A and B are shown apart, each in its own frame.
Chain A
Amino acid sequence: MATTAALHAHAPQGFIRKYIFSLDHKVIGLQYYFLALVAVFVGMALSLLMRIHMIWPTAVLPLIGEIKPETYLSLLTMHGTIMVFFVLTTAPQGGFGNYFLPIQIGAPDMAFPVLNMLSFWTTFVGFVVLIAAFFVSGGAPLHGWTGYTPLSALPSAGPGEQLGADLWITSIAIFCIASLMGALNFITTTLDLRAKGMSMMRMPLTCWAWFITAILGLLAFGVLLSAGILLLLDRNLGTSFYVPLVVVNGQIMAHKGGSPLLWQHLFWFFGHPEVYIAILPGMGVASQILSTFSRKPIFGYKAMVYAIMAIGLLGFMVWGHHMFMSGMSPYSAFAFSVMTMAIGVPSAIKTFNWLGTLYKGRIRFQTPMLFAIGFVSMFVSGGLSGPFLAQPVLDIPLHDTAFVVAHFHLIMGVAAIFGIFAATYYWFPKMFGRMMNETLGKVHFFATLIGTYCIFMPMHYLGLAAQPRRYSQFTEVAYLHRLIPLNEFITYVAIITVAAQFIFLFNLFWSMKKGAKASDNPWEATTLEWSTATPPPHDNFGGHTPVVNHGPYEYNVPGAPRDYIMQTDPVTAEAH
């Protein structure tokens, strides 16, 4: 016990213990964030190559050469996998959650610091294994981020389905273990380490979002782990969990009797909660920022909490809506359809409350606020196509078209990314002690907002005009000729939008060195992280544990001396 105490009481001094194998949740949070930053640029580059291939299928690119159809499928797979796992799951939860959950509840660290470190390094190994799939013989897998069997279970099914697919599924399994360790840590920390006065109903909505996200992760990743192990058995031990009697290139495979639908059930039992794992932290961040920059308490705090819970609960009951195409019983499809549309209710409650928070607020249009509003905008735009796809009758014609691509990119991809951007601009002063440049931030915001709308809005029309998704070449297909100009437009806008992200990258690193010095509470916010030093000391609050006297969003309380009451302010400051 004595040795461990010594290990923790003083901040470690050596470079390796301080920055590489650190037990400090703040360093681990930054490690997660920068891992996601690398991953997002890799993923973005892949998507750009796909867009270029779509309109110029025979173009010879410098360094890369001509993109073959199977390469296109590899790009598709790796783009989806990198973005979903190593960006949308890693940055909002592993990055910001790690950094700010303990501080916002008044804890000195996560409940299990060693586990936290292991969780990051396991994620890192998972990422390296995934990227390695590009460089093995046969290249990266072809089966999409959903890894549908039997394609993903048969090494002879295509060039990328050999070692590349093994690496892919190994990477996913490693990521599952890392996420389980992280989720367990988040939940225990939230339940066990709240400072005096920080009751559950006084937690900032960000903490609620991370907490519920961790519960979803805990329950969902265990199932994907099992599904992945069975897939590895099918691929390497010759079992037939997922493979029926199947003929590949004229050869009868040794497998028989398995069911591809088993994979779909197990995968989507994980896959649908995964969508909420990506978006819930963004909802928390948006709530936090909208309240702070409107100088108003969040509208309907309790309703927000219950809505997050309801979304999390319903998220486990709707996986079948990804499988309407599989020929499921219409009765099952009806049940999944009704449950899916029921998610619209808590989602609408959240949107209503965000708008209610803005209503009659004294809004400060700084960059974090712009991205938070952008988040709400994307959430609504992407969400509205949800009820269409929730109905089997409409889903069956739309499912394999660009309509679905537009839907999930807006709501899961871009909205969650806007949440990450909002969180970056909002918490940057606390993390690095300097402000990010406002002008560059605003340019970045408008370029990204307009750019992403120009990319994904037209895709709805492409989908309704029956442009199929996942196809590598359709410029030669007669009925799609008239859609080529629209596809070209999307590609051009995509190039511009990707270029605009370098403004963000420049702003991020330039502001770390040259940004204006930040005060401890530059946004005049109320939650605990703004009551400690910038950047926070090793044990977060400099040797003491804060005492919490107020709710998280007490802005403009009548009779208070200033327009916000911090959670740690003494009780006497409260007027009512």
Chain B
Amino acid sequence: MSDVAVQHGLTGAYEPSLFGTYSKKIGMWLFLLSDSLTFGALLYAYSYGRISNPSWPTPFHSSSIINATFMTAFLLTSSLTMVLAVRASVDHKPKQQMWFLLATMLCGTAFVVLHGREWSHLISEGLSLPVFPSVPGAEASPEFVNVTRDVPQFPATFFGLTGMHMLHVTLGVIYLGVIAFRKKFIPVLLLLWLVAWLGTPAYSPFHYGAHVLLVAAIVCTVILWLKPKLYDSSDVEVAGLYWHFVDLVWMFIFPLVYLMSTRIL
């Protein structure tokens, strides 16, 4: 039965819900179902480009793989701390829950920061989209420049897929922040926005991309104003579902986009 009936002050009987669970959880599962099709379409576009291009490049070296391995480790660790946060919330240990959520958010942030650094690094080396301005004073690697020129689908799918995933991780961190700290998180988010915006040079795609954080801060303010409630263990569990899904998507992107594009010398 849903919260809606309770909110209306109705005590009448309802049919047992699906798997005896609550609406929010079903809603999140349905969202993840549709989001998996969104990612599925992107992965399909990637596979399509890869198969239809006879000379698909494999330009990544061990440095990219080592970096991505660290990112993967952070994301997997964050899933562990997320599970622990859900358990703490079920056991009614708010202090513990808060610390585990914070740990999850920090791991997620580390993932995004490492990923952002890698993007900037690749762009300065010449793996780029036509719209990204060239990095002043950067030394381009001929191999990446050739890839960008000969198979533009490679950087397009790389930035498209990982960018969409990075957006999901970022929104996930914000989601967890709102669950854990509610309106106290808004100033932190605004601070992060300023740091990301002013801390990046104007030629970086993150200079403008950082405004996602500002938009998210506005949306969070509206949501907290509409529903100013304490989040309970069900909210933590639902947020956990989302977080694990984002983690799972990375488990597809890491082998398909990184490992399969590597040439170990």
Which of A's residues lie within 8 Å of B, judged by CB?
A: 1, 3-5, 7-9, 106-115, 180, 183-185, 187-189, 191-199, 218-219, 221-223, 225-227, 229-230, 233, 236-241, 254-259, 262, 265-266, 269, 539, 543-547
Contacts and interface: CB of A to CB of B under 8 A. Distances in A.
Interface string B198-241: 00000000000000000000000000001111100000000000
A256 B53 CA distance: 11
Interface in B154-191: 155-157, 160, 164
Given A1-B229, A226-B41, A257-B53, A218 B160 contact: no
Contacts of A112: 4, 23, 27
Interface string B26-68: 1100110111111111101100110011000000000000000
B9 A9 contact: yes
B172 to A, nearest CB: 18
B34 A219 contact: yes
B128 to A, nearest CB: 10
B153 interface: yes
Nearest to A197: B15
Contacts of A543: 9-10
A184 B156 contact: no
A195 B15 contact: yes
B49 A544 contact: no
Contacts of B9: 5, 8-9, 543
Contact of A107 (B5, B31, B156, B227): B5
B18 A539 contact: no
B141 interface: no
B5 A108 contact: yes
A265 B42 CA distance: 12
B41 A223 contact: yes
Given A112-B23, A184-B30, A257-B152, A193 B229 contact: no
Contacts of B10: 108, 539, 543-545
Given A114-B227, A240-B153, A256-B152, A192 B17 contact: yes
Nearest 8 A/B pairs, CB to CB: A545-B12, A238-B130, A226-B41, A239-B156, A196-B13, A8-B7, A222-B37, A222-B38
Nearest to A9: B9
B18 A5 contact: no
B1 interface: yes
Nearest to A254: B130
A266 B44 contact: yes
Interface string B68-101: 0000000000000000000000000000000000
A219 B38 CA distance: 9
B8 A227 contact: no
6 contacts: A4-B227, A4-B229, A184-B30, A192-B1, A229-B160, A239-B153
Interface centre among A106, A114, A192, A193 (most CB of B within 10 A): A192
Contact of A7 (B7, B38, B40, B160): B7
Contacts of A266: 41, 44-45
Given A3-B229, A4-B7, A192-B23, 19 more contacts: A4-B229, A8-B7, A109-B8, A112-B23, A114-B227, A183-B30, A184-B34, A191-B18, A196-B12, A196-B13, A196-B14, A222-B41, A223-B38, A226-B38, A239-B152, A240-B152, A254-B130, A259-B52, A546-B12
B23 A238 contact: no
Nearest to B7: A8
Contacts of B264: none
Contacts of A5: 6-7, 9
B34 A183 contact: yes
A111 B23 contact: yes
Interface of B: 1-2, 4-15, 17-18, 22-23, 26-27, 30-31, 33-42, 44-45, 48-49, 52-53, 129-131, 151-153, 155-157, 160, 164, 226-230
Nearest to A244: B52
A546 B15 CA distance: 11
Contacts of A258: 49, 152-153
Nearest to B22: A192
B33 A218 contact: yes
A107 B23 CA distance: 13
B153 A241 contact: yes
B254 to A, nearest CB: 20
Given A237-B130, A545-B12, A230 B31 contact: no
A187 B30 contact: yes
Given A109-B4, A545-B5, A239 B41 contact: no
Contacts of A227: 41
Contacts of B52: 259
A193 B130 contact: no
Interface centre among A107, A236, A254 (most CB of B within 10 A): A107
A219 B33 contact: yes
Given A188-B30, A223-B38, A240-B152, A108 B15 contact: no
Interface centre among A188, A194, A254, A255 (most CB of B within 10 A): A188
Interface centre among B14, B36, B48 (most CB of A within 10 A): B14
B45 A230 contact: yes
Contacts of B129: 237-239
A545 B10 CA distance: 7
A180 B33 CA distance: 11
Nearest to A108: B8
B13 A547 contact: yes
Nearest to A1: B229
A7 B6 CA distance: 12
Contact of B13 (A109, A195, A241, A262): A195
Contacts of B227: 4, 114
Contacts of A238: 129-131
Nearest to A547: B13
A328 B167 CA distance: 36
Contacts of B37: 219, 222-223, 226
Contacts of A196: 12-15
A111 B7 CA distance: 11
Interface centre among A183, A199, A226, A237 (most CB of B within 10 A): A226
A5 B229 CA distance: 11
Contacts of A544: 10, 12
A188 B48 CA distance: 34
A197 B12 CA distance: 12
Nearest to A258: B153
B18 to A, nearest CB: 4
B168 to A, nearest CB: 13
A240 B154 CA distance: 10
Contacts of B6: 5
A255 B153 CA distance: 10
Contacts of B152: 239-240, 255-258
Contact of B35 (A106, A222, A240): A222
Nearest to A236: B131
A194 B23 CA distance: 12
